[in-house]
Chain A
Amino acid sequence: MIEIDRLCKRFGAIVAVDDVSFSVARGEVLGFLGPNGAGKSTAMKIVAGFLTPDSGRAAVCGLDVAEHPIEIKRRLGYMPEGAPSYNEMTPVTFLGFIASVRGFSGKEKRRAVDRAAEMTRLGEVLNQPIETLSRGYKRRVGLAQALLHDPEVLVLDEPTDGLDPNQKHEMRTLIRDMAPEKAILISTHILEEVGAVCTRAVIIARGRIVADGTPGELEARSPNHNAVFISAPAQTLRTLAPILRELDGVAEVAVGDNSLCARPREGCDIHDEIQVLVRQRNMLVSEIRLERGQLDDVFRAVTTGGALTGTAGAETAED
């Protein structure tokens, strides 16, 4: 539904988007990740038809954004960064305006506005000027505007930024509920978001794609993926560490004050083996945990250009 092919965009000397390609199919929620200023918003603005790319091609529903701008804007729901809206209007007049521009009138218009307001739970503030609303509500007004015409393709720039935990949860539930019938592209720099709503994640840094995969695949790229984490008194750890180092599947053992982290060789599962071993020797440990791998580590590694092993793992071991 969304296809981006070798997109480039520069602002003066700054390269905002550099040779970015990806696609989003129906039923997919693609999380666009990256540090601030990585080029996420720029790429989304190009998809939404607001910015013109220097080179490359963006297509929505099979139509080229540059060639059919109006048709694409009709099919696409877009929430710009910061969810801007006309502050002096109330949500109901604002949504009414959007509905009119999108060609709704009369009963249909009222139904579309009601539906969008209900989905985003705007009920109690519908008649308050937008400038008096809290950040969470403003964001919901922005989302309601994007959903109003029930578009097949949704592009949401940082939909949960500035929301409190409850609102974030609601926003994610809403996005997940809509996901099966739509192609959704969301950007975020909050990593927990990816596991919570996305079926796929693309990490972008300095305008380039540095990782692309399902949240699981990305986690697997973490040095701590399938690592075993043990909490125990220092003495126990001192005896345990050399034994673990002898195991075939173990690549590395890092010992901290009261904890230990054993990283497996690629493709090895060491969790069960270690658990059996600890039980056989009647060792006193307070916790044995299997690490899925932190997306944070992967994110930090790929966006700062550092190696995937090293610092990230050591920090975890000292926790």
Chain B
Amino acid sequence: MGVMGAVFRREFVTYFITPLAYVFIVIFLALAGTLTFFLGSFFDRGQADLQPFFAFHPWLYLLLVPAIAMRLWSEERKIGTIELLLTLPISTTQAVLAKFLAAWAFTAIALALTFPLWLTVNYLGEPDNGVILASYLGSLIMAGAYLAVGACFSALTSNQVIAFVLAALVCLIFSVGGTPIVLEFFTGWAPSGVIDTIASLSFMSNFRAIARGVIDVSALVYFASVIALFLFANVVLVDLYKAR
């Protein structure tokens, strides 16, 4: 097991040592179910698919993913273990990646535990399971983008609450980027090219493409770039903390 494997495993196991994992999973499943059945009118639509389930994922992640990410670096800074971690033979990039991947793996488990919904639609009708699989993958990679934002802000402060609020705020801006809330602010004075760019930088609009069941390469590239960008910022922030 490599250096990154060791850090990954420690981070991952830590979620389950503390009550965080269980609280998170229960709330995630409860909210996912509630939103799907009540706000998403799962039954009334009369269609055997998971569209109403996936449609709410950006909103779920907006609230819950920063909660998983906030402890990644803030806690280390607060207790001082960051000094221990970064004086072990591991590079900052390795540490950032290992922590991110551990949190992502944890999110994947929470997401996988929504499988009863998948069983339900298969019991009720004959959904396109290919579309569902694509949506799940799309949702997971979008969760990665939210996580990368959260991890980055976690490295900015030793206060988990501040890390959470900042991450949630930036996630919100990214989420609603393609909606009238943001676009109307720019309409009228910004050139249409700018408005189109802002619209295309939204988590929602990119996820919508994937959730329809189309593996949209540009959407995947988009989420991968967001992850890469924020993890890079994360590495820079940790290095700045060392060089301060």
* A joins B in a complex: yes
List A residues at the B interface (Cβ < 8 Å).
11, 45, 48-52, 69-71, 73-74, 76, 78, 80-82, 84-89, 97-98, 100-103, 105, 145
Stretch at the interface among B5-13, B110-118, B175-183, B204-212: B5-13
**B89 proximity list for chain A (CB < 8 A):** 70-71, 73-74, 101-103
Number of A-B pairs, beta carbon distance below 8 Å: 72
Question: How many whole Å from A229's CB to the nearest CB in chain B?
Answer: 45
Interface assignment of B83: CB less than 8 Å from any CB of chain A = yes
Q: Are A82 and B14 in contact (CB under 8 A)?
A: no
The 10 closest A-B pairs by CB, nearest first: A100-B6, A84-B80, A80-B83, A73-B89, A74-B89, A101-B6, A52-B243, A48-B87, A84-B81, A78-B87
CA gap between A250 and B244 in the complex, in Å: 54
Question: How many whole Å from B89's CB to the nearest CB in chain A?
Answer: 4
Interface assignment of B217: CB less than 8 Å from any CB of chain A = no
List B residues at the A interface (Cβ < 8 Å).
1, 3, 5-7, 9-10, 14, 17-18, 79-81, 83-84, 86-91, 242-244
CA gap between A97 and B242 in the complex, in Å: 23
Q: Are B86 and A100 in contact (CB under 8 A)?
A: no
15 other contacts beyond A49-B87, A86-B14, A101-B6, with CB at 8 A cut-off?
A50-B86, A50-B242, A51-B242, A52-B242, A74-B89, A78-B84, A81-B80, A85-B84, A86-B10, A88-B17, A88-B18, A89-B14, A100-B5, A101-B90, A105-B1
Contact partner, B6, options A49, A74, A97, Cβ 8 Å: A97
CA gap between A80 and B84 in the complex, in Å: 7
Contact partner, A84, options B3, B83, B243, Cβ 8 Å: B83
Given contacts A49-B87, A70-B89, A86-B14, contact A103 B3 (CB under 8 A): yes
A-B contacts, 26 listed (Cβ < 8 Å): A48-B83, A49-B86, A49-B87, A50-B83, A51-B242, A52-B243, A70-B91, A73-B87, A74-B89, A78-B87, A80-B87, A82-B80, A84-B81, A84-B84, A85-B81, A86-B81, A88-B17, A88-B18, A89-B14, A97-B9, A100-B3, A100-B6, A101-B90, A103-B3, A103-B89, A105-B1
